[in-house]
Chains A and B, each alone.
Chain A
Amino acid sequence: GNSVTQMEGPVTLSEEAFLTINCTYTATGYPSLFWYVQYPGEGLQLLLKATKADDKGSNKGFEATYRKETTSFHLEKGSVQVSDSAVYFCALSDPFGNEKLTFGTGTRLTIIP
């Protein structure tokens, strides 16, 4: 079945540091890949997505590239801010069914000033 493995947290970085959160997946076919973010006290929000191999999703300074050869979708940001503190979830959608999402366990990110 489909699965997503993401870097375990928590991750603590200083402001302006470089961020990478690793995500790898197992799936049959060609799923779409997503990063969702959950800020404290809020619901899940779509951060970025990529629907086919070599696509790069980007938003709010975050980027992730769909790498079919390594089955990865690592999240990166060049300079993090305190406001980026949140829980980040990597997810894939089932291409053979109803597009239901399979999520990783989440990575809690804390940025200290």
Chain B
Amino acid sequence: GAGVSQSPRYKVAKRGQDVALRCDPISGHVSLFWYQQALGQGPEFLTYFQNEAQLDKSGLPSDRFFAERPEGSVSTLKIQRTQQEDSAVYLCASSLEVTQYFGPGTRLTVL
């Protein structure tokens, strides 16, 4: 079956612009995670959904970051007033039990 998909794959934004990153999880997966991966580093947790409920947002770096999953399937990560330090690859993962399956990521570059 289809894996996790993310769009866009690449996004270039000017500092101060808002961006929206989309994640389509594997069908039927209850859990959805967002991670941020800086260059040369491992992914770092941002937020977690179980169905439509956002149960953990402890990793969001500032109140400029907002995520939603209104119908318990597709999720959107929004970053307002982007800053250069937001440049990273944003990864989405979904899971049914323990194992998380990752999408290809969205590479965000803020100029």
Contact of A98 among B44, B56, B102 (CB under 8 A): B56
Instruction: For B56, give the chain A residue with the smallest CB separation.
Output: A98
Residues of B within 8 A of A32 (CB): 98
Residues of B within 8 A of A49 (CB): 98-99
Interchain CA distance A44-B93 in the complex, whole Å = 10
How far does the Cβ of B9 sit from chain A's closest Cβ, in whole Å? 10
Q: Which of B52-111 contact A (CB under 8 A)?
A: 55-56, 59, 91, 93, 95, 98-105
Chain A 22-44 interface 0/1 with B at a Cβ cutoff of 8 Å (1 = within): 00000000001010100000111
Interchain CA distance A93-B98 in the complex, whole Å = 8
Residues of B within 8 A of A91 (CB): 42
Judging by beta carbons under 8 Å apart, are A99 and B43 in contact?
no
Interchain CA distance A44-B33 in the complex, whole Å = 14
Chain B 3-33 interface 0/1 with A at a Cβ cutoff of 8 Å (1 = within): 0000000000000000000000000000101
Q: How large is the interface on A (under 10, 10 to 19, 20 to 34, 35 or more residues)?
A: 20 to 34
Residues of B within 8 A of A46 (CB): 99-101
- Asked if A103 CB lies within 8 Å of chain B CBs, one says yes
- Asked if B50 CB lies within 8 Å of chain A CBs, one says yes
How far does the Cβ of B25 sit from chain A's closest Cβ, in whole Å? 14
Given contacts A49-B99, A93-B98, A106-B42, contact A101 B33 (CB under 8 A): yes
Given contacts A43-B104, A100-B45, A101-B45, 14 further A-B contacts (CB under 8 A): A4-B42, A36-B102, A43-B105, A44-B43, A44-B91, A46-B100, A46-B101, A97-B56, A98-B56, A99-B98, A99-B100, A100-B48, A105-B40, A105-B41
> Which of B's residues lie within 8 Å of A, judged by CB?
31, 33, 35, 40-45, 48, 50, 55-56, 59, 91, 93, 95, 98-105
